[in-house]
Amino acid sequence: MTTTNLTLQAPSPAGLTWAITRNENAKSDAERDAILADPGFGNHFTDHMVDICWSEKGGWHRPRVSPYGPIQLEPSAAVLHYAQEIFEGLKAYRHADGSVWTFRPYENAARMQRSAARLALPELPSEYFIDSIRQLVAVDGAWVPSAPETSLYLRPFMFAKEAFLGVRPAKKVAYYLIASPAGAYFHGGVQPVSIWLSTKYARAGKGGTGAAKTGGNYASSLLPQAEAAQHGCQQVLFLDEGKYLEELGGMNLVLVYRDGTLVTPESDSILEGITRDSVLQLAKDRGHTVESRKVTIDEWREGAASGEIVGAFACGTAAVITPIGRLLAEDFEIVHGGPEASELALSLREELTGIQYGRVEDRHGWLLRLDA
């Protein structure tokens, strides 16, 4: 990395003075276009990244935009031992007029603060969070794809970088933001997915970290997720106390009842999804009854058998809204077949993505423009 092209920006509206180092080995237009033509999910990264340091003495300081590249850490960095880490996920969308927008970023900023509090990490002020996104999009805006259903996935994260092996909250922490052009999370696009019910493993427990977006929750989901894949399923569903529906490895769950009621599991150990909150709001706006309550796996089984429950869907930033066609367990299966099982999920998806891509009126004021 060279610093010959380092510039210091005048303080941003959030009061940060950004040091910007342009990537002299940035991808060419042709290389970038080839990636954007088929981005997949999580495979490619833009030319730059953002970081802000935090120390107990100095607070948040040294905000930088630099070339995307390896991070130097001491082998004793606390995150590598005790997993003091959190992250977020949101997207930048290109509208038909070329402008770039993001969706409810203050909700992500607030959730990152809640995750930070649980993981004994410092809280990043919301203005800094938003500013970091603006800075990255200012240098890497050309990486926001324009093909239908594509976006630039933004991944803010924070970790304990202090070189110390004692077990206590780190006194030195780093916040980073990287970005990755994204297409559909699931290979089949919006085709209904199959999910595997994990009865052997739990994702979270009472008083644990289930409601925080922290790497450990995902690390513990990898083995059950691999089990799901062995059974031909794309995601794993976890239960609470062995009987209550919780959520999938990387997305929330919503059940669709015959009368149009939507039910989502409630528990202190579920990640409060911004997609879920948004889609339930859109459903309420249409006059649907929406319930957030404890739901047992037996209620789903019996409801599906009687025709009371007609469908289910997964929702999250990466997955958007994806119908669930089948739940597979060790000793039973629930099938939601036929187009009617996916109808409501797909129509809510159309409305939600319509807002995100600027095709449908943003009546809740959820969008924030990033390139102006």
The residues binding ligand PLP (CB under 6 A) are 89, 247, 250-252, 271, 273-276, 316-317
Residue closer to ligand COI by CB (options 6, 223) is 223
Binding mask 225-254 for ligand COI (x = CB under 6 A): -------------------------x----
CB of 30 to ligand PLP, least distance (A): 32
CB of 302 to ligand COI, least distance (A): 30
318 binds ligand COI (CB under 6 A): yes
Name 51's Cβ contacts closer than 8 Å, sequence gap at least 6.
Answer: 63, 64, 66, 174, 175, 176, 177
348: exposed, middle or buried (Cβ count in 10 Å: 0-12, 13-18, 19+): buried
- Report d(CA 5, CA 44) in Å as an integer: 24
- Report d(CA 113, CA 120) in Å as an integer: 10
Binder among 105, 303, 316, 323 for ligand COI (CB under 6 A): 316
315 binds ligand COI (CB under 6 A): no
Helix boundaries (H) for the chain: 29-37, 79-82, 105-118, 126-140, 215-219, 222-230, 274-285, 297-306, 339-356
145 binds ligand COI (CB under 6 A): no
CB of 216 to ligand PLP, least distance (A): 12
Residue closer to ligand PLP by CB (options 66, 269) is 269
Residue closer to ligand PLP by CB (options 79, 274) is 274
Q: Indicate which of ligand COI, ligand PLP, none lies near residue 39 (CB less than 5 to 8 Å, by partner kind).
A: none
Residue 327: count of CB within 10 angstroms of its CB? 23
210 binds ligand COI (CB under 6 A): no
User: What are the b/e assignments for 240-274, b being 16+ CB within 10 Å?
Assistant: beeebbbbbbbbbbbbbbeeeebbbbebebbbebb
Q: Which of residues 250-309 bind ligand COI (CB under 6 A)?
A: 250
User: What are the b/e assignments for 93-115, b being 16+ CB within 10 Å?
Assistant: bbbeeebbbbbbbebbbbbbbeb
Binder among 44, 85, 86, 89 for ligand COI (CB under 6 A): 89
- Report d(CA 324, CA 253) in Å as an integer: 9
317 binds ligand COI (CB under 6 A): yes
Residue closer to ligand COI by CB (options 139, 154) is 154
Q: Indicate which of ligand PLP, ligand COI, none lies near residue 297 (CB less than 5 to 8 Å, by partner kind).
A: none
Residues of the shown chain interacting with ligand COI in the complex, contacts defined by CB under 6 A: 89, 250, 316-318
